Structure 1
C-alpha cells in the first residue's frame, strides 16, 4: 500500500471527514476534506456499511477526484467501514496503491480486522471532539446571553436617564418656582413635602441607573465594582476580601450581578448587621461567597426562590457552568456561594 486515509463520520453534518493520513504530506489536510454521506467511495462505504474493493478507481462511477489528495498518483484502493457493535459506522479506512488490482482477498480481510480494532478509538475521538464543540457552543451562548442582558440594562438605564430622570428634574424646578411665589403656609408646607419626595425619587433613579450599569465594572473591574456596592449598604458592617483573579469579561459581569443581587437582598430583607464578601481561587475553581448574620430564611420554599431573587442567580450561575449553593435557616443568617470551574473563568484578553 502506498497511502492510507482515515475518515470519520460526522453525524451532526452527515459527512465523512478526513482525520488522518500517511504519508505525512496528506496528514496536514486532516479536518479540511469533507464528503457528504453517500458521495465518493468513502461516502458510499460510510452510508452502506460495506467494503469497496476498487481495482481501477477511474472506471468506478462512485469515485470522486479530490485534487488535494493527488488521486492521479493511485490506481486501486480498498475502502472498509469501521464498525461498532450494532453495525454503526464510525469511520472509513482507505488504503491506496499505485498499481491496479493490487489488493488480494487476504489483504482485504486483514484491513477489515484492523478497521474493527481501531473503530473504538475512532468513536472515542469523535465523541470527544463533539463534546468539545458543544462545550464551545455553550460557552459562546453564555457570552452572548450575558452581553444581551447587559445591552438591555444599558438601554433601560438610558431610558431612565433621558426620560424619567429628566421629567423629575423638570418637575422639581417647577415646584421650587411655585414654592417661591406661594403665600399660604399650608400650601408651602405641602409643596415642601412634595419637593422632598421628588428629590428622593430623583436619587432613586440615579441609583437605578448606576446599578443597571456601574461604570466601575467597565473601568476598574470586578473587585472595585463589588467593593463599591458593598460600601453603599448604609449601617451594615461590611468585610470585603477579593483576590485578583484573571476572569473573562462575561464571567466578571455575571459574578457582579449575583453579588449585587445578594447585597441588595441583605439591605431589603436580611436585617443584618454584618456582611462578608470573598472571592478566591479554590482548587480547580473560583468561588464568590456572600454571607450575612441576618434573619435568614428557608431556601427550600417557593417564596424564597422568588422573593429573594434566587431563581435569577441560579440562571446566571448556570450560564457560566457554575454551581450556586444557598445555606440559610430562619434566625441563622444566609450564605450564598458561587463556584465557577477554572476552565470557564480564564480571560481571553
Structure 2
C-alpha cells in the first residue's frame, strides 16, 4: 500500500511539473493525459471542454480504440450522455464511475472497428474554485468499475489540470490587456506625431496653391495636397484600427464609424441578438475592417453592404460590394496579404472566410465564426 502511495505521489509530481512548464493549452492537456495513462492502470482517456452554453470541444485524447477514433472521434461527440448532462446541470462534483456510457454503446453498435474492450469509463470535472471547464474521462479494457483509490487519484490529477487551465486563461487575459494597452500607446503616438505632420503638410500645400499664379507650381501643390490628404485618411484609418472608437457601443456602431472614416456609404442589416464573446467580436471586427479597406482601395466603388446573422452556435458576416471584383488564376494562392490575414484570423478561432468574386462582378466576403 505504501509503495502504491509513493508511486501516486511521484506521478502527481511529474504531472505538476509538466503543467507548470507548458504554456500552450492543447499541448499541456495532451501531455498530462499521456503521463496519467503511463503511470496508472488507466489505458485510454479523453478531455472535453464544455462552455456555459453547453457546447463541447474534444480537446485532447490518448490511446483511443479504433471504434472511438473513427471519423475524427465522432461517436464521442454526438448524442447525449450521463456525464455531460450532469456536468451541465452542475451536479457532477467529484470523480465517478459511469454505469453505462451511451456514446460508447453507440460506437460499439455503429462501428465495425475494434472497441478494445472499452465498455465503461470514469469521469471527473475539471475545475478551479467555482469555475468549471470540462471533463476528464478515462477507461480501461474489460473494466466496469474503478476503486475508490483510483477515483481519488483521478480527482487529484483533475484538480491540478483545472488549476493549470485557469492559469493559462488568466495569462491570456493579461496578454490581451497588454496588447490593447500597446495598441492604445501606438495609436496615441501616431496621432500626436505622424498624423499632425501630415495635417501640417496639407495646410502648407493649400497655402502654396493660393500664393502662386504659375500653373505648373500650382498643380504641383495640388498633387501634394491630394497625396497628403490620402495619406491622412490612411493614417486615420490605421489609428482607428488600433483603437476603434465606437466599438464599446457594439460591433455594428464600430464598423459604421470605420466606414465613415473611409468615406464609404454603408448598408447594414442584422439578424439575431449581437452578444458575442470578446475574442469573437474582436476577430469579426478586424476581418470586416480589412474587407472594408479592400473595398475602398480596390473595388472602384464607395458603397458597401454588411449582413450580420447571429445563431445559437455561429455568427455569419457577409461584406458585399458591386465593384470591379477580381480573378484568381490560382484558386489556392491568395491574392493579397489582406485576404490571407482574414483567413488566419478566422482560423485562429475555428472559423472560415470565403469569397465569391469575378471581374466586373463585385465581391462578397463570407465569414463564419463559431462561438
Bucket of the pairwise TM-score, normalised by the shorter protein: 0.5 to 0.7
The answer to whether structure 1 residue 176 and structure 2 residue 210 are counterparts is yes
Q: State the Cα RMSD in Å.
A: 4.2
Q: How far did 1:265 drift?
A: 0.8
User: Which of 314, 317, 333 is the matching residue for 1:302?
Assistant: 333
- 1:156 matched residue in structure 2: 190
Match of 1:201 in 2: 227
Which of 295, 310, 328 pairs up with 2:356? Answer: 328
Q: Deviations over 1:213-247 (max 9, x none)?
A: 3474267543223224445777x874211466345
* Partner residue of 2:38 out of 73, 76, 86: 86
Distance 2:179 2:215 in 1: 50
Identify which of 234, 239, 247 aligns with 1:213. 239
Q: Supply the distance in 2 between the matched residues of 1:318 and 1:262 (Cα, whole angstroms).
A: 16
Q: CA deviation at 1:204?
A: 1.6
Q: What runs of 5+ residues in structure 1 fail to find an aligned partner? A: 1-5, 17-82, 91-111, 183-187, 343-349
| Cα distance in 2 for residues equivalent to 1:260 and 1:205 | 18
Q: 1:263 aligns with which of 292, 300, 304?
A: 292
What is the rounded CA distance, in whole Å, between the counterparts of 1:297 and 1:150 in structure 2?
Answer: 37
1:250 Cα deviation from its structure 2 partner: 6.6
Secondary structure (helix, strand or coil) at the match of 2:316 reads: strand
CA, structure 1 residues 12+335, in 2 after alignment: closer, same or farther (shift >3 Å)? Answer: farther
Change in Cα spacing, 1:161 to 1:132, as seen in structure 2 (3 Å) is: same
- Select between 133-142 and 198-207 the one with higher mean Cα deviation: 133-142
Quick check: 1:322–1:339 contact (8 Å CA) kept in 2?
no
Displacement of 1:123 in angstroms is 3.4
Question: TM-score if structure 1 supplies the norm length?
Answer: 0.53
4+ aligned runs moved over 6 Å, structure 1: none
Task: Give yes or no for the alignment of 1:189 onto 2:189.
Answer: no
1:312 CA drift (Å) = 2.6
Task: Classify 1:220/1:193 alpha carbon distance in 2 versus 1 (closer, same or farther; 3 Å).
Answer: farther
What SS does structure 2 have at the residue aligned with 1:283?
A: coil
CA positional deviation for 1:189: 1.0
**SS of the counterpart of 2:287?**
helix
Q: Which runs of 5+ in 2 are unaligned?
A: 1-7, 20-34, 43-145
| Structure 1 contact 241–278 (Cα < 8 Å) conserved | yes
**1:1-349 alignment to 2 at 5 Å?**
9=12, 14=17, 84-87=36-39, 114-177=148-211, 179=212, 182=213, 188-214=214-240, 216-217=245-246, 220-230=249-259, 238-242=266-270, 245-247=274-276, 252-271=281-300, 275-294=304-323, 295-298=325-328, 300-306=331-337, 309-317=338-346, 321-331=349-359, 333-342=362-371
Q: Does structure 2 conserve the Cα–Cα contact (< 8 Å) formed by 1:9 and 1:15?
A: no
TM-score, length basis structure 2: 0.50
